[in-house]
Amino acid sequence: MRAQRILKVVSGVVGIVVTFGLFVVPFIFIALTAVKSRAEAGLLEFSLPREGYFFMENLTQVIEAREFMLVRAFWNSTVLTAASVALMVIAGAMIAFVLQRRKSRWTGLINALVLAGLIIPPAVVPTIWVMQGLGLFKTLHGLIFIEVAFGIAFCILLFRAFIATIPRELDEAAVIDGAGPIRLFFQVIFPLLRSVIFTVVILQSIFVFNDFQNPLYFLPGDQNATVQLTLFNFQSQFLTAFNLLFMNILIITIPMLVLFLFFNKRIVEGMTAGAVKG
Amino acid sequence: MWFLIPGAVIYLVLFIFPTIASLFFSLTRWTLFDAQFIGLDNYTQFFSERFLVQGLYNTVFYAFFTSGTKVVLGMLLALWLTGRVFGQGYLRAVIFFPVLVSTIGVGITFKVLMDPFDGLINGSLTVFGVEGPLWLADPDTALLSIALVDLWKGVGIATVIYIAGLSAIPQEYNEAATVDGASGFRRFKEITFPLLMPATSTVIILSLIGGLRSFDLIWAMTKGGPGFASDVMASMIFKQYQAGFYGLSTAGNVVLFVLVAVIIYPLSRYLNKKTVEL
């Protein structure tokens, strides 16, 4: 038993050293390069800055680049994330409620469609064609609807599993007390979903905020760029200014780090629950 | 029933309808305004261009490589991290965190770290007297290099799914087997591995779907280069779209869709059959 205990400590220490090299060093590299001078960052070295720290200078330069493009991008990404996540949570919960509580001959078909949404890669150009027909192409609200369309299946799955655990008697009691379907859903069921909603909001916010492919296709143009697109575009523009490029990466990584420090458990639980149910 | 409407409208109009429409448009020469029916020409062209076939092969390789390595590493890490190892909390957190970070940011960072001459990775290898490969610059290793970064970013999700799966296995099974004198390996083979099948199946399916559709990381790191060495279906669909070959791009989409369906559907049925109930 003693030998086993020692083995666990030793393997833990070895693991800490190895994971430090593999997983922590890249982030330290990002942070170090972000505060270096332009010339020094260009050497791509993993070292403390020798020419001094340029945190504020680099930060201001990145923010001011291309007429405050990053600020606009953050605004766009925030609007996109908040609106699409709010929409898919509400619409998703409503669908999940119907699927779980009102079995009909459509239930099977709807379930199949939901599953298809998790598996099928979206058809890009036909989607653009539809969006153009509706005047949604190259608009932020168009992209919001796209994120909802591609993300709602996952929400439905998580909500449905959770609603299954809410006793039916609760619905019945509410109906006997005279609640219509709208009041039943929004005043009885929806508040009970609070914890799973919280999980879904965090997970989908991370997905939407980090999404690159959909903004690239459906919201082209510098004026509308989201954070991820801005980063991608800066890659060619800052080819000789790695300090600014990595400052940009640092800026978009920090929100995730903060989120992770606060909601570590929730995020991990949500991701496993979502994965297993999918 | 009208509860379904908000979600259903968005989902049907922006996801299901374009998917169905893609079957038709893939048979046309298409300018978005005008579609001229040309039968299977797009598909013939697709399968006769050498680099497009290469991309198809790359997609399958990439998906199976990342999926296979995530299963093996995820399972090993989870077994290790559920054994009350020293530093467990830190280790879990640090392995999981990259899942949350922007794929574009990770891609750019590793592009710099994998620089054949100035990059940190080859720099570190030189210290150990190993001459590092050219990574992204060499057509033979470019795709593999990206797949390794994908593994780095995604192994955390596989690990947490396996950790959840492991903690669902009742302790008594292993204790009883130990009393009966089963060795550690035997216990893994006869108890843990079969009972982990739901987790394994989830990790395989999830990572295969993700791998077959992957775009962001490849686009951020090589854009499919050098040449077409690291092109996959998703990046070719984008390139054909950029070049204005909408019909061909849509045909690529349909090929990807069929590829995903042909791999995922039988596989998930097979894995479900293998799953034993606790």
ipTM of the complex: 0.87
Q: Do A149 and B15 touch (CB under 8 A)?
A: yes
Q: What is the Cα–Cα distance from A267 to B184, expressed in whole angstroms?
A: 32
| Position A210, amino acid | N
**Could you give the number of structural domains in chain B?**
1
Query: Does a structural domain hold residue B12?
Result: no
For residue A58, how many other CB atoms are within 10 A of its CB?
25
Backbone φ and ψ for B29, nearest 5 degrees, come out as -90, 120
Map residue A221 onto helix, strand or coil.
coil
Query: Does a structural domain hold residue B83?
Result: yes
The whole-chain average pLDDT of chain B stands at 89
Query: How far away is chain B from the Cα of A137, in angstroms, using its nearest Cα?
Result: 11
The confidence score (pLDDT) of residue B212 equals: 94
**Which chain A residues contact residue B67 at CB under 8 A?**
none
Among the listed ranges A101-110, A134-143, A151-160, which one has the minimum average pLDDT value? A101-110
The confidence score (pLDDT) of residue A213 equals: 92
Assess whether pLDDT exceeds 80 at residue A208: yes
Q: Which residues pair with B37 in a beta bridge?
A: B28
Q: Do A23 and B202 touch (CB under 8 A)?
A: no
The confidence score (pLDDT) of residue A161 equals: 85
What percentage of chain B carries pLDDT values higher than 90?
Answer: 44
| Mean pLDDT across A59-68 | 84
Q: Do A264 and B98 touch (CB under 8 A)?
A: no
Assess whether pLDDT exceeds 90 at residue B244: no
> B98 to chain A: nearest residue by CA?
A23
Give me the domains of chain A, ranges plus CATH numbers: 69-277 (1.10.3720.10)
The confidence score (pLDDT) of residue B144 equals: 94
CATH assignment at residue B44: 1.10.3720.10
Query: Does a structural domain hold residue B62?
Result: yes
Among the listed ranges A18-22, A272-276, B17-21, B255-259, which one has the minimum average pLDDT value? A272-276
Query: Does a structural domain hold residue B215?
Result: yes
Query: Does a structural domain hold residue B168?
Result: yes
Query: Does a structural domain hold residue B23?
Result: no
Domain span at B247: 40-274
pLDDT tens digits, residue range B69-112? Answer: 999 999 999 999 988 888 888 999 999 999 999 999 999 999 98
Assess whether pLDDT exceeds 70 at residue A1: no
Query: Does a structural domain hold residue B30?
Result: no
Among the listed ranges A83-97, A148-162, B173-187, B245-259, which one has the minimum average pLDDT value? B173-187
Assess whether pLDDT exceeds 80 at residue B185: yes
> How would residue B1 be classed by pLDDT, with cut points 50, 70 and 90?
low
| Mean pLDDT across B120-140 | 85
For residue A138, how many other CB atoms are within 10 A of its CB?
16
The confidence score (pLDDT) of residue B98 equals: 93
Q: What is the Cα–Cα distance from A25 to A47, expressed in whole angstroms?
A: 11
Q: What is the Cα–Cα distance from A61 to A63, expressed in whole angstroms?
A: 5
